[in-house]
């Protein structure tokens, strides 16, 4: 796999190897996520889609999270929109709550780079927390991302919250579509 290096020249994240081969795993992730960001949020344009795809891939490599899982979660959480603020106060692409952001060491929840990294870091924590649940690990991690890990522990599985159940199903549907697109490249 081609490693990504974060270059902060002109506010962009660049691939370390600009000549990456089209059949590489990173290139395939990039194409799928770029297209999904652009499809979900065309008004933000190609520059935002490019930057978002590169940031998601970079931080997923750093925190060892599937880029397609993170992208599917962000698609459902915010439609990849930094301006998104939920009725409960969750902010940005990753829809981080201020308390969660603080716990993660995020100093500026409104900075796209910190917001995306914080969301991926939080998803990595949830995947780790529920690793012993085998096939249900990802489902519980996504549910915990939405409702908090304590809700999963309290209910010993998916909590009976309509919002969380819908969130998990919507992420699953987007993830399945992204995987099919990835496999089709």
Task: Give catalytic residues, as residue numbers.
Answer: 77
Taking the CA atoms of residue 16, residue 17, residue 18 and residue 21 in that order, the dihedral angle to the nearest 10 degrees is: -140
**Sign of torsion, CA 142 98 153 146?**
negative
Query: Residue 42, SS3?
Result: helix
State phi, psi for 92 to the nearest 5 degrees: 80, -170
Residues contacting 117, CB < 8 A, separation 6+: 55, 59, 62, 63, 106
Which tokens in the block code for residue 79?
């439609």
- The residue behind tokens 């370390």 is 16
């Amino acid at each position: 796999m081609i490693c990504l290096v974060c270059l902060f020249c002109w506010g962009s994240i660049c691939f370390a190897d600009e000549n990456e081969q089209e059949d590489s795993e990173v290139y395939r992730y990039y194409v799928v996520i770029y297209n999904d960001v652009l499809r979900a949020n065309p008004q933000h344009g190609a520059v935002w889609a490019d930057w978002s795809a590169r940031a998601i891939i970079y931080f997923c490599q750093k925190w060892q999270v599937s880029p397609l899982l993170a992208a599917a979660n962000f698609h459902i959480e915010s439609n990849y929109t930094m301006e998104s603020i939920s009725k409960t106060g969750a902010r940005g692409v990753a829809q981080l709550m201020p308390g969660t952001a603080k716990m993660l060491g995020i100093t500026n929840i409104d900075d796209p780079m910190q917001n995306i990294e914080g969301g991926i870091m939080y998803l990595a924590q949830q995947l780790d927390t529920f690793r012993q649940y085998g096939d249900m690990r990802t489902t519980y991690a996504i549910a915990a991302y939405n409702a908090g890990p304590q809700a999963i522990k309290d209910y010993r599985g998916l909590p009976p919250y309509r919002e969380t159940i819908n969130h998990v199903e919507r992420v699953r549907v987007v993830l399945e579509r992204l995987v099919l697109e990835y496999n089709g490249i």
